[in-house]
Amino acid sequence: MAKRTSKFLQGRRIDPPPITKSTTLAELVDESFIAYNGARLREACQLFTRKMLEPEVTVGMSLTGALTPAGLGISALIPLIKAGFVDWIISTGANLYHDTHFGIGLPMHQGRSDISDVVLRAEEVVRIYDIFFDYSVLLDTDAFFRKIIEGREFQKAMSTAEFHYLCGRYVHERERKLGLKEKSLLAVAYEYGVPIYTSSPGDSSIGMNVAAKALQGNKLAFDPSLDVNETAAIVLAAKRSGGSSKAAGKKEVKKKPGLSACFILGGGSPKNFLLQTEPQIQEVLGIDERGHDYFLQVTDARPDTGGLSGATPGEAVSWGKVDPDRLPDAVVCYVDSTVALPIITAYALATHKPRKPKRLYDQREASMALLLSEYKKSKRR
């Protein structure tokens, strides 16, 4: 009598093909990333390309850690935006500040982490681990931001998305004058209508320069309430974007329900700001919702230390941040973002056709109107 095969032995048999000089990156991920964090990275690539990039899904991304100084804005984030694979972003202010160096033609250099920082300080060289740049890069970037925020359009309270959109327009113009092309995430996000928010706008050199200009009477101020409500509105509009439609003289065509996806690089405040959109909708505004549909995080943080960066999608379910029925569609990849992001980007570009950009910045007023209309029906007011 044949032995019954355990239900736990239904996974693909481990027997990968040998890696050769002609093995593509997609083949490497699919066939050779078999176990441990390699397998999680494979699952991340496949979740992103096979589910999160479907037309009905709105993809929000959070950025933490010094990614743009390492050139990842140019090599990975900009290609993702151009392919329509990222629809809105929450970033640390530092990533956007350092991104601007590239857009205004200021050089960053490869360095070493074992050089004396006392020696570097004497040489007026600033270090981000193994990235070096001249101290004048900071001063020139500060001067750029102080100059543009003197403009009339900045003299008011605004969301950080509006602020970054206006800044992106200026960086885009500076790139044009310098003969540069697609070096700045801010500039490309402006061009493609991708709203970028910062959860802690005072926690960067951009915010420091805004504060300095305020001492001179500048009226620019960031409105955190606008950020909280606009980001919640983006998610609600994404979830309500399904339904059915009927063209003139034609039968009604049913659409797939709208879905919301979270692509989290690192953790910290941007991670929470991305995920808290659902508690804002459900808990605070009293609008009927169940949580984000897809959760993909790249992190090196552990969940048992109490830090948010290690908080799991299961924990997020308890807050209403993630739809409990969608937990199978959640991947936490314990890999350095500087390793995972280029691989996920290359895999996505190789295996999924581009999507039409959603241009969510242009839809902010409509999304806010939807949020307000549903809040008016709520008993939580």
Asked whether residue 3 is domain-assigned, the answer is no
Average pLDDT of the residues in 213-227: 97
Query: Which residue would you say has higher pLDDT here, 173 or 320?
Result: 173
Q: Is the pLDDT assigned to residue 161 strictly greater than 80?
A: yes
Asked whether residue 212 is domain-assigned, the answer is yes
- Domain range for residue 219? 29-240+257-376
Contact 344, 44 (CB under 8 A): yes
- The β-bridge relationship of strands 88-91 and 196-197 is parallel
Average pLDDT of the residues in 292-310: 86
Q: How many domains does the chain have?
A: 1
> How far separated are the first and last CA of the chain, in Å rounded?
68
Q: What is the pLDDT of residue 244?
A: 46
Average pLDDT of the residues in 320-331: 84
Alpha helices of the chain — where are they, by DSSP H?
25-32, 36-47, 72, 78-82, 93-103, 117-122, 135-148, 160-178, 185-192, 205-214, 224-239, 268-275, 277-279, 313-318, 337-351, 364-376
- What is the maximal distance between C-alpha atoms in the chain? 88
Q: What are phi and psi of 59, to 5 degrees?
A: -105, 115
Return the CATH number at 134: 3.40.910.10
CA distances from 350 to 46, 80, 83 (A): 12, 12, 11
Q: What is the pLDDT of residue 51?
A: 96
Asked whether residue 6 is domain-assigned, the answer is no
Q: Is the pLDDT assigned to residue 349 strictly greater than 50?
A: yes
Band of residue 306 on the pLDDT scale cut at 50, 70, 90: confident
Q: Is the pLDDT assigned to residue 242 strictly greater than 70?
A: no
Average pLDDT of the residues in 16-28: 96
Q: Is the pLDDT assigned to residue 253 strictly greater than 80?
A: no
Is 3 catalytic? The answer is no
Q: What is the pLDDT of residue 118?
A: 97
Q: What is the pLDDT of residue 301?
A: 84
Q: Which two tokens stand for residue 342?
A: 């280029």
Q: What is the pLDDT of residue 251?
A: 63
Q: What is the pLDDT of residue 1?
A: 59
Query: Which residue would you say has higher pLDDT here, 22 or 249?
Result: 22
Asked whether residue 41 is domain-assigned, the answer is yes
Mean pLDDT over the full length of the chain: 93
Q: Is the pLDDT assigned to residue 111 strictly greater than 90?
A: yes
Residue-wise pLDDT for 125-152, tens only, equals: 999 999 999 999 999 999 999 999 999 9
Asked whether residue 118 is domain-assigned, the answer is yes
Q: Is the pLDDT assigned to residue 245 strictly greater than 50?
A: no
Asked whether residue 13 is domain-assigned, the answer is no
Catalytic residue among 82, 321, 376, 377: 321
Asked whether residue 143 is domain-assigned, the answer is yes
Residue-wise pLDDT for 257-287, tens only, equals: 899 999 999 989 999 999 999 999 999 999 9
CA distances from 101 to 109, 285, 323 (A): 12, 40, 39
Asked whether residue 49 is domain-assigned, the answer is yes
Residue-wise pLDDT for 27-43, tens only, equals: 999 999 999 999 999 99
